[in-house]
Structure 1
Amino acid sequence: MLNDSELATLRKRFKRDAAFLMQTATSSDEDEKSQEEKDAKPLPRINRHSVFWIVASVSVTYYVDFIHNIMENDDVKSWWFNVGLVLLGICLSLAMFCIVYLEWFKGIQHYDQEYPAIPPITTAAFIAASCSFNIALWPVWSIFTPLILFTQFMGVVMFISLLG
């Protein structure tokens, strides 16, 4: 067992560590307040990040002749493409339900708390849609398909963020 001097040393160390933890806790509270102040200040809509992804998406659309390849290329697996369109439609419908109906009309800001099943269903539908699109378009662009689709996705997301 421990003798009295070792116990005293241990108590002093715990007190010192507790004091250090208390100082850290108060400084983290100040960091949280400054984070809240940062959140209160609106971020600019147009920034380099969003402009980059929009320009990249437009460039990819132009250089790989995206629309023409999807519409007229015989290598596209139409069954997988149609499944991807249906899943993407489900995903977008749920997103529009949340944004337009719940947030704008009903005024529910935290719709994920009111309807907890919507975020996982939307996420699963989007992941399944992206897999379907990758399978459908793999014969057209092979290894570049995920990169092309990701660039398109980011461009659309950044464009929508500029609208809202």
Structure 2
Amino acid sequence: MLNDSEYVNLRNRFKKDAEFLRQTLTPAVEDEKSQEDKDVKPLPRINKHSVFWIVSSVAVTYYADFFHVIMENDEIKSWWFNVGLILLGISISLAMFCIVYLEWFKGIQHYDQEYPAIPPITTAAFIAASCSFNIALWPVWSFFTPLILFTQFMGVIMFVSLLG
């Protein structure tokens, strides 16, 4: 069996070896990471994915006569539609507060850490708005309603991403 001094010597030897290995491996790993960071290119703003959703949204708007139906159709459940508009307004207002005021004017990059309640409230309001719009517009387009609204949503998101 080893006595206490031999344990201390053995432990010191392992510490020195570990320190030596850590010092020799760290620059190589950093060089690999920096080379990977150099190789990574940002994605282009205009790509096939965003063009597809924007074109699809425009096509759905045209062929479903979206704005004409929204303005003049009597089958729309107006109470649900109004609730959806209010919830969508809340969601957009909170998003604009975060993007325009907090990020642009105040310079807060991580506003979700400063105001942790905003992202879940915005998400909940948007999900409730989409459910309300689906209920309100179901009598008009039936089972096509979620597809039409989702396509419109994706088209708007992709269009906004091109602006930013």
Relative to the length of structure 2, the TM-score reads 0.77
**CA distance 1:38–1:159, shift in 2 (3 Å):** farther
CA deviation string 1:99-138 (max 9, x = no partner): 0000000000010000000000000000000000000000
Following the alignment from structure 2 to structure 1, what is the Cα–Cα distance between the partners of residues 124 and 134? 15
- Who is 1:49 aligned against? 49
Q: What displacement does 1:33 show?
A: 3.6
**Pairwise CA RMSD:** 2.2
Following the alignment from structure 2 to structure 1, what is the Cα–Cα distance between the partners of residues 155 and 34? 31
Following the alignment from structure 1 to structure 2, what is the Cα–Cα distance between the partners of residues 91 and 36? 38
The aligned amino acid for 2:103 is: E
- Who is 2:136 aligned against? 136
CA deviation string 1:28-64 (max 9, x = no partner): x78x947972796322110000000000000000000
Following the alignment from structure 1 to structure 2, what is the Cα–Cα distance between the partners of residues 62 and 47? 23
Following the alignment from structure 1 to structure 2, what is the Cα–Cα distance between the partners of residues 39 and 161? 24
**CA distance 1:47–1:115, shift in 2 (3 Å):** same
Larger radius of gyration: 2
**CA distance 1:36–1:117, shift in 2 (3 Å):** farther
State the number of aligned residues.
136
Following the alignment from structure 1 to structure 2, what is the Cα–Cα distance between the partners of residues 114 and 36? 32
Q: Does 1:125 align with 2:125?
A: yes
CA deviation string 1:72-107 (max 9, x = no partner): 000001110000000000000000000000000000
> 3-state DSSP class of the match of 1:44?
coil
- Who is 1:111 aligned against? 111
Q: What displacement does 1:143 show?
A: 0.3
**CA distance 1:110–1:73, shift in 2 (3 Å):** same
Relative to the length of structure 1, the TM-score reads 0.77
**CA distance 1:121–1:36, shift in 2 (3 Å):** farther
Identity of aligned residues (%): 88
Following the alignment from structure 2 to structure 1, what is the Cα–Cα distance between the partners of residues 118 and 35? 28
Q: What displacement does 1:146 show?
A: 0.2
The aligned amino acid for 2:104 is: W
Ranges in structure 2 where 5+ consecutive residues have no aligned partner = 1-25
- Who is 2:83 aligned against? 83
